Structure 1
Amino acid sequence: MVVTTPAATASPHWLTPSTAEHPQRAGTSHAAIAPYGTFVAGDGTEIVLSVQNEREWVSCCRTVLDRPELASDGRFDSGSRRVVNRRVLEEIFADVFSGLTGEQLEQRLTEARIAHARQRDVGEIGVHPQLVARDRLTEVQSPVGPLTAVRPVIGLEGRSSRMDPIPALGEHTDAILEELGYDGPARGRLHAESAV
């Protein structure tokens, strides 16, 4: 016979207490901060932004949205009210942002001192302006030809980062096996058995 206790049947802490439902996926938004997440400018540029305090909210209304009256709107005049009214707030942002280019939106966010960044796909990350400006990109050789690679995050002054060619599949197998103590015949057996 199995005896259950209240502790054994209680919902896990990550479930909503009143309904025991799993939280919904929220993409780049934040459960306790609004506005927070990815917004789209009129030219399709995606910008991730975060307004986390009242100074930022007032500045965002005045400079980014050009709607200073929203700062004192009862639906949005505190962080918790902005979260409760997230959908309406996001509709206002979408409406204003649809009339701006990504560059214009970034200029306004910078002027308002609002944390933001352009959302980029993998291809764009490879040519990110900061990587280029900081000389973080280099070229390495590979079995398929030269490839662009990112230099290590940490470097030592006066020393260049070691960026050896990318080895071909199995190129160093015998050297590693030899280091591990496998002699020629032993390595030959491993190859014959397709173990390496």
Structure 2
Amino acid sequence: MNMKMENFAHSKPYSELLVVSIEQAVAAPLCSCHFAEGGARVIKIERPEGDFARKYDKAVKGESSYFVWANHGKESLCLDIKNRDDAALLHSLLAKADIFIQNLAPGASARAGFDSDDLRRRHSRLITCDISGYGDTGTYRDMKAYDFLVQCESGLVAVNGAPGAPGRIGVSVCDIGASMNAIIGIQQALYLRSRTGAGSGVKVSLFDTAADWMTVPLMHTVYGGKAPEPVGLHHPSIAPYGGFATADGHVLAISIQNEREWVRLCAEVIGDAGLASDPRFSDASLRVKNRSDLDALIARFFEANTRGDLAEKLRNAGVAYGGVNSVETFSRHPQLRRRGVTLESGETVQLAGAPIQYSFEDPQASFGRIPKIGEHTEAIRREFVRVEANV
């Protein structure tokens, strides 16, 4: 590695950024955590009692799985932003900040004197990001917007689950998606600032995020006259597609999306080349129309073979497949990367590796430590009181 690359390797992409975030739960903390992973200094503003996500569970050696996942590498500053002195300190922080993120209830930050538009007028380079449940206008503006409720309101649960039994997606997908959209918006604002010198405002809501994902079902409903229904592991317009039990008690999923794969499945996996031209199954629409017969046929074949044998045949034939794994099985998956993180207690645990891998970063490097409630409060007060005095 030459000297230039060595220097670059020690400078993460956000290493010169200061991010200040009044955050709680998942969406905003996960967003700011991305910037911490990228090298930014992230100051997490908490109530004196701490972010309530700290107490969601005790699954990680007595600490919250949600909090550990979304808060490593940050500094924790406890403030009461309604208190005049604490508000003054926050204003001092924001005068030096590059990014301000908040996911308080709609209007709460403005009532406390931290309206995003006002802040950008005061600090021209500041980028603000407001994350909400339903946006800052409309009749749903003040509705509670927990992830599950947004999944329900947006129709996500209506297209998930099994027939007759709509189901919640088993992770906080609206929170996660809103966080990713916030990151995209902030990155775009940073790029714009690099050209214009001016900060801008980003607004993201959980509902808008879910609505975007629901575009295809929405178009089917509005223009096609019929919404997709929950089909479990199946697909409403593709067959064969789904999970099938094996002789040794596992479930393998297959997804046949073109005629070439269909022919190979019949000839090289099932061992019946003539099945590909069966009048019931000879094209994609016929396979969907006769799904029950087709699924029964494939189910019988899978039930007579072990997972290992089927996986070998499917892989050799170039047929798309995957295991329908439990979380326990997933935890031992050969493709699962791990990355260490140090808990408040000082113990170390392994999280899933970051989804983004940089060419200049050691993939074995640990994430930053989980901060204790208010751990950095006094140090930050001293630092920014000095900064204010020197201005």
TM-score by length of 2: 0.38
CA distance in 2, matches of 1:122, 1:180: 45
The structure 2 residue matched to 1:42, chosen from 244, 247, 262, is 247
Percent identity over the alignment? 28
Secondary structure of the 1:90 match is helix
Shift of 1:138: 3.5
Any stretches of 5+ residues in structure 2 without a counterpart? 1-217, 387-391
Secondary structure of the 1:129 match is coil
CA distance in 1, matches of 2:367, 2:267: 52
Shift in alpha-carbon separation, 1:175–1:66, aligned structure 2, 3 A = farther
Q: Which moved more, 1:86-95 or 1:155-164?
A: 155-164
The structure 2 residue matched to 1:126, chosen from 331, 336, 346, is 331
Task: Say whether 1:146 aligns with 2:345.
Answer: no
CA distance in 2, matches of 1:84, 1:155: 46
How do residues 55-66 of structure 1 correspond to structure 2 at under 5 angstroms?
A: 55-66=260-271
CA distance in 1, matches of 2:231, 2:317: 26
Aligned to 1:163: 366
Any stretches of 5+ residues in structure 1 without a counterpart? 1-11, 184-196
CA distance in 2, matches of 1:160, 1:57: 39
Letter in 2 for 1:140: V
Aligned to 1:67: 272
Contact 1:16 1:23 in 2 (8 A): no
| Alpha-carbon displacement from aligned partner over 1:136-166 (angstroms, at most 9, x marks no partner) | 3233332463312223231334635542454
Aligned to 1:82: 287
Aligned to 2:377: 174
4+ aligned runs moved over 4 Å, structure 1: 179-183
Letter in 2 for 1:167: I
CA distance in 2, matches of 1:182, 1:70: 78
Aligned to 2:66: none
Richer in helix (by share): 2
Secondary structure of the 2:221 match is coil
Shift in alpha-carbon separation, 1:81–1:141, aligned structure 2, 3 A = same
Shift of 1:22: 4.6
Contact 1:142 1:165 in 2 (8 A): no
Larger Rg: 1 or 2?
A: 1
Contact 1:155 1:161 in 2 (8 A): no
